[in-house]
Structure 1
Amino acid sequence: MDTGVSVVGTGQVSGTPDVLHVTFGVEQVEPDVATAVATVGERTDVVIAALRARGIEESRLATGAVNVFQDYREPGTDAGYRASHTIQVETKDLTGFGALLNAAVDAAGNSLTLHGLSFDIEDKSELLIEARRLAFEQAKAKAEHLASLAGFSLGSVTAISETYNHAPIGLQSRRASAKAFDAAINVTPGENSIEVSLQVQFAWA
């Protein structure tokens, strides 16, 4: 059996977000599937055109999901069918959320839904490097302490494994109303945290 000590060290760093992710949805209930799908398709195209007009590049627009299903109602009432289409939007303009929301509401009216928004850091490489350094320093300090308690001297590293956790700041889903956003809404990005955990195996000297 290998001898030595295995410890876990954690390093956490924070950074200022530089990307805003927004997920809009377009939903419509109609008496038949064809009408529901056609209506959602038309309104989705209008929303996408409105977002492009606000400066969102084609590469930062993507379809998130397309769904069609029966809208269940009380017994004895006519059947309905709900079609939906989600649009994922990415922008570097962290202050432009209110303008994007207003443009989408103007385009889709009460068919628009807001599935949420989150802030992110596009390039996390430098933050990950610092988080790893802090995690390793903590792991080594733990190992040295355990070695001294056991009456051993710490040797070389024999194995390392890493886990990574990123916690973007986000807001939850809601339905938008065509009259609810007459003024621009400002959102504050705050900071995002990145955490790296390292399991480090040390041999005895």
Structure 2
Amino acid sequence: MKKTIGAISIFLSTMCLAKDAPTISVVGNGTISAKPDTLSIIATVETINLNSEKAISENTAIINNAIKLLKKEGLKDKNIKTENYSLNYRSDYNNKDNDMKYYVRNQIVITSEDLENTSKILTALNSGGVNNIGEVNFYVADRKELEDKAYVLAYEDAKSKAQLIAGIDKFTITPKDINLSFSAPRPVGYMLSANSKMGDAPIPVTVPNNVDVTASMNVTFYMEK
């Protein structure tokens, strides 16, 4: 799923052009590839019990055990945090009697620059009793330079398309409006659910060689003879 990071509108005016000058609008795209240097994982622990204290204590035990195993694999406190804790009392729709139960959810959020340790991190979470290990996201932490280069490529692409079309009738082009957007493709990841428990067996993970940073823009050009 692509996520739009930001949108900026830049308006360029050319006073010497007539207001009724014809225009042409084109879309340009630019992509830069780079080796990922950071991974992130969001792992969810959910416990269910008729007794709220038991549901809470079970959840806490799994969280603490998982964190203990993660630290054995070299992760530090700065690499691990818990968030989105919730306690709900609702019907158990998986039970034909719809019994009311307590649901406790907590998440372990992991970030690390040690991509080679990804398999061990996943194995530690799995061995620790985590119910659901979501996507492992591999990305470039500091993407500013990559985004700038992608924007340049996107503009050059748009300009090249406009020049090609305008040149058919011997027009030259001057930029009028530029609308920018930056997009990142769906991260390459690994999914592990509670139904795919593997015990202490290592979980194989392939770290991508490159991830893409993509920018696109819609550019409107004046056309003049």
TM-score, with structure 2 as normaliser: 0.77
Alignment match, 1:89: 110
Q: For 2:85, which of 50, 62, 66 is the aligned residue?
A: 66
Counterpart CA distance in 2 for 1:30 and 1:82 is 7
The reply to whether residue 166 of structure 1 matches residue 184 of structure 2 is yes
The alpha-carbon deviation at position 145 of structure 1 amounts to 1.7
**RMSD over equivalenced CA pairs, Å:** 2.4
5 Å-filtered alignment, 1:40-189, equals 40-69=59-88, 70=90, 71-76=92-97, 78-106=99-127, 108-109=128-129, 111-154=130-173, 156-167=174-185, 168-175=187-194, 179-183=198-202, 185-189=204-208
Alignment match, 1:198: 217
User: 1:57 is matched by which residue type in structure 2?
Assistant: K
Counterpart CA distance in 2 for 1:178 and 1:139 is 49
The alpha-carbon deviation at position 27 of structure 1 amounts to 2.0
CA pair 178-144 structure 1, distance change in 2 beyond 3 A? closer
User: 2:82 is matched by which residue type in structure 1?
Assistant: T
Q: Does structure 2 conserve the Cα–Cα contact (< 8 Å) formed by 1:105 and 1:176? A: no
Q: Per-residue displacement from partner, 1:28-54 (whole Å, max 9, x unpaired)?
A: 221122321232123213322332343
Counterpart CA distance in 1 for 2:93 and 2:175 is 61
CA pair 2-128 structure 1, distance change in 2 beyond 3 A? farther
Q: Structure 2: any 5+ residue segments left out of the alignment?
A: 1-18
Q: Does structure 1 conserve the Cα–Cα contact (< 8 Å) formed by 2:32 and 2:150? A: yes
User: 1:164 is matched by which residue type in structure 2?
Assistant: F
Q: Does structure 2 conserve the Cα–Cα contact (< 8 Å) formed by 1:73 and 1:79? A: no
User: 1:62 is matched by which residue type in structure 2?
Assistant: K
Q: Does structure 1 conserve the Cα–Cα contact (< 8 Å) formed by 2:154 and 2:216? A: yes
Counterpart CA distance in 1 for 2:220 and 2:94 is 60
Alignment match, 2:16: none
Q: Does structure 2 conserve the Cα–Cα contact (< 8 Å) formed by 1:95 and 1:187? A: no
- Once the two structures are overlaid, the 10-residue window that deviates more, 67-76 or 82-91, is 67-76
Q: Does structure 2 conserve the Cα–Cα contact (< 8 Å) formed by 1:112 and 1:177? A: no
Counterpart CA distance in 2 for 1:173 and 1:64 is 20
Q: Per-residue displacement from partner, 1:120-173 (whole Å, max 9, x unpaired)?
A: 11111232222122211111111112222344222x323222111112212234
Counterpart CA distance in 2 for 1:15 and 1:82 is 42
Counterpart CA distance in 1 for 2:161 and 2:35 is 30
Give the share of equivalent positions with the same residue, in percent: 24
